Structure 1
Amino acid sequence: MAPNKPSSAGCPTSPKPRSRKEALQRLYGLVHSKDRVLITIDPDPDSIAAAFAVKRLLWHRVHSCTVGIIRPIRRLNNLTMVRLLKLPLVLLKEKNLEEFNRFFLVDGQPAHNPFFQKISYSLVIDHHPVTALPEIPFLDIRPDYGATSTILTEYLIAAKIKPSRTLATALIYGIKTDTRNFERQSREEDVRAFHYLYDKVYQGTLRKIEISDLSLKDLTYFCEAIKNKTVVKDRIYTHLPQVPSADTLVILADFLLKVHDISWSIVSSVVDNALVVIVRNDGYRKNAGRSVQNAFGAWGSAGGHRAAARAEIPLECLETVVKTKTPLAYARFVRQRLRAS
């Protein structure tokens, strides 16, 4: 499926809805009872929860609605969430797209992943900073919100739909993870959504999801990350030769930021023929998303929030700048680029 025509960077191609009721009516105006809708996500707790909230909004309004993930879920918390809440997800391949006639994207934008760029979207709802956007009939992008789950909770309230305990548990976990329990950027709307959902969740299930962080083999990566660390002023860098999933890097970056006198943690590794860089900071007068975009945007996808960001660079794009394909060379490249940004 051909991608949409890009518009200028940072310029949404449809006006932001003035209210949730207006947004809801515009959303319902997009769909028909015979539509086969695919909601695509890069799976994390916020995107999964937001997708199932959209699916609930479309219940009885379309022929079918499927939540499709563009990569396997490997992080243990997320696997536990999907398993305990029994959330049906489909791992997408390009040929799967022929089964659907309408496409939605939540908690992401087309520029965030090459798979998304293959699809003509009717709707994008997100809370990340605005990137170059194609022509999309419905856009609701609110970078000041802490979580897309907050936005979708507001949609449910506007629709007078009380979420099930399963959906409420997913949404509140999405808010908790993307705001890091309100330590990251968040606003009053995130707090209000949390309070609205709080008495509707499975508390025991939520607790089990939250504590399902590590497997025994993950401890090996902690040892390796600490052994490979480099500290420069208030920044701690570490590079692992290879990890099974970028989620491992996220766990390590969050962990290393807990070190006293450290304001930035940068963890990198090669994952599936791409150099992945995860950046975390304390959020005080810093902007991780801007730093990562400036450092790595010329070679791959890069961006994020003030306190959390990510870059994914295909190794083939680094052939002219990283001459030797060794862990040490990749580690040096990451440090040099971030120091210069």
Structure 2
Amino acid sequence: MAYPAVAATIVVAVLATVVGLYALRRFERPMGTRFLEKLKDIDEVAVLLHPNPDPDAMATGIAVASLAEQVGTDPTVQFAGQVRHQENRAFETVLELDIEQIDHVSDVAAEHVVLVDHNRPRGFAGSDSVLPFAVVDHHPGDGTGEVFTDVRTDYGATASIVAEYFENVGAKPVPSAKHASEVDAPYTVPSTVATGLLYGILTDTKRLTSGCSAADFQAAGFLYPGVDEERLDRIANPAVSREVLELKARAIAGRDVRGPFAVSDVGRVSNVDAIPQAADELVQLEGVTAVVVLGECNGVVHLSGRSRDDRVHMGRTLDSAMSDVQDGSAGGHARMGGGQLPLNDGAIRTEFGGTLSREDLAERLFESMSGEV
């Protein structure tokens, strides 16, 4: 009489095992497969880049748009701010990117929003009201998407993550001399996308020499067959403006060097993108292992830091130095970081009612790089 009960128990156990294995298999599916399935479920999507986008952000944006198009979802790539750095402008122009500038949340092209290369909406009026559908990023932060989140801080570039998505779904890069119809694969990586993603990886990892992982090398190798070398060279070697060269010279001439650390205040600038370029130049000086360059533009002091010193995590260094600055923001990775300090009546205000002179700011930066803050 007990046999039916035993049989029922066995059947339930088998079903539970099957369901469990199915759930485990679904959970273990590659992130690219899961991301593509989420894109298939919607009719249109707005792919938002971070403000003043760099090649990693722009490349990731057009790559996500390409994935969306290949599953029948209508994408629009958008950004706030401007594309300013000459290298970034060359990237946009040479690859003939179709990206749209926005100023207000009402300009966002679709209800479903994918954030790439940042994990919290910012840079335009009403950005706080945006609830991202998905987030794909390699920067530290706690921003998440409603249905999909993939933040990998151990990757050197978000472009590497999205390149991996293409590989996950069996896509093949399309050589620049071929048409997508000539490639036998369920999905493809258009040559423009492959070229952009590779350059995004190269820029965010200093040509695969800093802050990168095995995954970045793997992604670069995967993309290579589809790279247009002629376009890549045009992006990598744009003309440098006289203003940028002059600002680099000011940063070097006005540097304050203390041991292995340097700080340079370049004063007022009209092109804030020249500040990180000056930092890149200054950190190459013999004997200098960590630098911060600061300059003022439109009532805001902009900081850009670079480190090749294992003792100095630049993101934490800047965040620590700016911890009590009113309305200030700073952060970044181990090797690079940035910050913005708004001026109030021409002065940097602290949260305790005091002011911070530019000289005091420089002292703080030295102390923070030395680990004294």
Q: Which amino acid aligns with 1:156?
A: F
Partner-residue secondary structure (3-state), 1:58: helix
Identity %, equivalent residues: 24
2:38 aligned with 1:29 = yes
Match of 2:247 in 1: 221
Match of 2:348 in 1: 318
Matches of 1:202 and 1:333, distance apart in 2: 46
Query: In 2 relative to 1, CA 322–307 (structure 1 residues): closer, same or farther, beyond 3 Å?
Result: farther
Match of 2:299 in 1: 273
Q: Which amino acid aligns with 1:226?
A: I
2:219 aligned with 1:193 = yes
Partner-residue secondary structure (3-state), 2:46: strand
Larger deviation, residues 70-79 vs 216-225: 216-225
Residues 48-67 of structure 1: matches in 2 within 5 Å?
A: 48-61=58-71, 64-67=74-77
Larger deviation, residues 116-125 vs 258-267: 116-125
Displacement of 1:262: 0.4
State the Cα deviation string for residues 261-318 of structure 1 (Å, max 9, x = none).
1001110112333221111011434311121222224432221111111112222393
Matches of 1:61 and 1:308, distance apart in 2: 36
Partner-residue secondary structure (3-state), 2:280: helix
Query: Could you state the TM-score of these two structures normalised by the residue count of structure 1?
Result: 0.85
Match of 1:148 in 2: 158
Matches of 1:259 and 1:73, distance apart in 2: 29
Residues 79-228 of structure 1: matches in 2 within 5 Å?
A: 79-97=89-107, 99-110=109-120, 116-129=127-140, 131-133=141-143, 136-159=146-169, 160=171, 161-212=187-238, 214-228=240-254
Query: In 2 relative to 1, CA 117–301 (structure 1 residues): closer, same or farther, beyond 3 Å?
Result: farther
Match of 1:39 in 2: 48
Partner-residue secondary structure (3-state), 1:208: helix
C-alpha contact (below 8 Å) 2:248/2:281 kept by paired residues:
no
Partner-residue secondary structure (3-state), 1:110: coil
Partner-residue secondary structure (3-state), 1:199: helix
State the Cα deviation string for residues 231-277 of structure 1 (Å, max 9, x = none).
11111110111222332011111111111110011101123332211
Q: Which amino acid aligns with 2:133?
A: S
Query: In 2 relative to 1, CA 303–121 (structure 1 residues): closer, same or farther, beyond 3 Å?
Result: same
C-alpha contact (below 8 Å) 2:47/2:113 kept by paired residues:
yes
Please, what is the CA RMSD of the aligned residues?
2.6
Partner-residue secondary structure (3-state), 2:87: helix
Matches of 1:50 and 1:254, distance apart in 2: 23
C-alpha contact (below 8 Å) 2:31/2:168 kept by paired residues:
no
Query: In 2 relative to 1, CA 139–324 (structure 1 residues): closer, same or farther, beyond 3 Å?
Result: closer
Match of 1:250 in 2: 276
Matches of 2:287 and 2:99, distance apart in 1: 41
Partner-residue secondary structure (3-state), 2:331: strand
Displacement of 1:165: 1.2
Query: In 2 relative to 1, CA 38–152 (structure 1 residues): closer, same or farther, beyond 3 Å?
Result: closer
C-alpha contact (below 8 Å) 2:47/2:75 kept by paired residues:
yes
Moved over 6 A (4+): none
Query: In 2 relative to 1, CA 302–254 (structure 1 residues): closer, same or farther, beyond 3 Å?
Result: same
Match of 1:11 in 2: none
Displacement of 1:37: 2.5
2:334 aligned with 1:306 = yes
Matches of 2:269 and 2:205, distance apart in 1: 26
Query: Could you state the TM-score of these two structures normalised by the residue count of structure 2?
Result: 0.78
Partner-residue secondary structure (3-state), 1:217: helix
C-alpha contact (below 8 Å) 1:35/1:63 kept by paired residues:
yes
Larger deviation, residues 203-212 vs 142-151: 203-212
Matches of 1:68 and 1:111, distance apart in 2: 12
Matches of 1:213 and 1:309, distance apart in 2: 25
Question: Which has the larger Rg?
Answer: 2
Matches of 2:27 and 2:216, distance apart in 1: 18
Aligned residues: 323
Displacement of 1:196: 1.4
Partner-residue secondary structure (3-state), 2:279: helix
Larger deviation, residues 311-320 vs 262-271: 311-320
Matches of 1:322 and 1:336, distance apart in 2: 19
